[in-house]
Amino acid sequence: MTPTRFVQLWTHRYHKYTHILKAHGLGYMAWLHFQLVKWRTGGKKKLVAVIRTEHFGDIVTAEPISRYLRTLYPDSYIVWFVKPAFRELVSANPSIDEVFAEFCVTQRQTLLKTGIFDQVHELQFSNNNHCPVCQVFVDNPVAVGRHINIHNYFNYGNLLEVFAQTGDLIPERSTFPADDQPRLYLLDKHRSRVNALGLPERFIVVHCRSNYAPKDWPHERWEQLIDWLLLHYECSVVEVGLSSNLEITAPGYINLCGKLSIPETAEVIRRAELFAGLDSGPSHLANASGVFGIILMGSLNEFPTYNPYCGSYGRQENAVFVRQPGVPCAALPFEFVKEKIAAVLDNRLVNNTSRS
C-alpha cells in the first residue's frame, strides 16, 4: 500500500467512525429530549413517530397521513422525522406537534431502539433508509412483510397509498380511507419573498429536469416547446427547479432554477395559470397548490403505466397526463406533446381570460 493510499484509507475511516459515533450520541440526546416531552405532558400523551424523510415530493404527497394520524391519535404527541433540507415542508403543519430533523439513519435507529415512542409508522422502505457515510441500509419490517420494494411499489397504488401501507395504517392494496388531497402550509415569509421577485401577472410554470434521468424529456424539446408557448400565448414562462439545462433567450422566459427554497417554489407555482412539468417534486407541489397540471409521463422501469398522484391529480380532475402506454418520457414526440398541451391551453387560458 502506498503512503498516499494509506492516508486516504485512514482519512475515510476517521470520517466514517466519527460520524457513526456522533450519530449514536445524537440519538441518545434525542432520547433525553423526548423523555422531557413525556415528563412535561405528565406521561399522559403517547409519543407517535412518523418517518418520511425524503424526497420532497414524497413528503408533500404523504401530508394527508398527518391529518389521518391526528384522527387516530387525537391526544398524542406526533413527531415527523425528516431530513433537515425538507423541514420547512412539515414545520407549519398543524397536525404535527414536532418535526425531528434527523442527522442520519443511525441516529434515528439509535433513538427508536430505546423504545421511547409508543407507536412508530414508517412510510418508507430500505432505499429511503440509507446512510452513505455509515454505509448501512435499514429495512422496514412492514414493507418487507408485504413485499413492497423499489421494484414493485407502484403495483400497490399511488404513493400516498403505498406509504400508508408501509406504515401499517391501511390493509395491503387498499385505498386511503380519508381526504387524500395534499395540502401545503406556507408562511408570510414565503409569500413576501415571491412578492419581491416582481413576477408578471400571468405566467405558466414549467419544470424540465427531474432528479432521475428516466423521467426526463430531452432539453431540446423543452426549448422548442417554451419557444412555441411564448409565441402563441400571452403568458410568460417561469422555469423552476434545482438547475436548468435550457438555453433560451426569448423575452418572457424567466429562469428561477436554484434561486428559491422549496416553499418559495410552491408559492410561485400557486400563482401560476398552470403547471407543465415532469413526474417530479414540483408536480406534487402543484397538486397540493390546486394549480392545474400538465404532466409529461412515460413508462418507468418495471411500470409501463403508473400513477404516483393522490387527490385531484390522481383522479385527473385537475391534471392531464401526457403519455403513450409503454413509451418512456424521453421518447414522447414533440408534436404529440404540443397537441396535448395546446388542447388544454386553448380551453383554460380563454376561460381564465373571460373571467378576468
Query: Which domains are assigned to the chain?
Result: 3-166 (3.40.50), 191-351 (3.40.50.2000)
**Confidence band (pLDDT; 50, 70, 90) for 354?**
very low
The yes-or-no verdict on residue 347 having pLDDT over 90 is no
What is the model's pLDDT at position 163?
98
What is the model's pLDDT at position 353?
45
Most confident of 118-122, 127-131, 347-351: 118-122
355 vs 279: which has the higher pLDDT: 279
233 vs 348: which has the higher pLDDT: 233
Burial class (CB in 10 A: 0-12, 13-18, 19+), 2: exposed
What is the model's pLDDT at position 277?
98
pLDDT tens per residue across span 298-316: 999 889 889 999 999 999 9
What mean pLDDT do residues 208-215 have? 92
**Confidence band (pLDDT; 50, 70, 90) for 351?**
low
In three-state form (DSSP H/G/I as H, E/B as E, the rest C), the secondary structure along the chain is CCHHHHHHHHHHHHHHHHHHHHHHHHHHHHHHHHHHHHHHCCCCCCEEEEECCCCHHHHHHCHHHHHHHHHHCCCCEEEEEECHHHCHHHHCCCCCCEEEECCCHHHHHHHHCCCCCCEEEECCCHHHCEECCCCEECCCHHHHHCCCCCCCHHHHCCHHHHHHHHCCCCCCCCCCCCCCCCCCCCCHHHHHHHHCCCCCCCEEEEECCCCCHHHCCCHHHHHHHHHHHHHHCCCEEEECCCCCCCCCCCCCEEECCCCCCHHHHHHHHHCCCEEEEECCHHHHHHHHHCCCEEEECCCECCECCCCCCCHHHHCCCCEEEECCCCCCHHHCCHHHHHHHHHHHHHHHHHHHHHHC
pLDDT tens per residue across span 32-79: 999 999 999 898 899 999 999 999 999 999 999 999 999 999 999 999
What mean pLDDT do residues 90-115 have? 97
Handedness of CA 297, 302, 306, 310 (dihedral sign): negative
* CA separation for the pair 86, 104 (Å, rounded): 14
What mean pLDDT do residues 290-305 have? 93
The yes-or-no verdict on residue 11 having pLDDT over 80 is no
What is the model's pLDDT at position 350?
58
Task: Name beta bridge partners: 203.
Answer: 236
**Confidence band (pLDDT; 50, 70, 90) for 352?**
low
Average pLDDT across the chain, whole number = 94
Q: Distance of CA 239 to CAs 260, 265, 289, Å?
A: 11, 10, 17
What is the model's pLDDT at position 355?
31
What is the model's pLDDT at position 186?
97
What is the model's pLDDT at position 211?
87
Cell of 343: 388542447
> Would you mind telling me the total number of residues written for the chain in this entry?
356
Residue among 293, 118, 314 at smallest CA distance from 207: 293
What is the model's pLDDT at position 356?
35
**Confidence band (pLDDT; 50, 70, 90) for 6?**
low
Q: What percent of the chain has pLDDT over 70?
A: 97
pLDDT tens per residue across span 18-34: 999 999 999 999 999 99
What mean pLDDT do residues 303-330 have? 95
Neighbouring CB atoms inside 10 A of 207's CB total 27
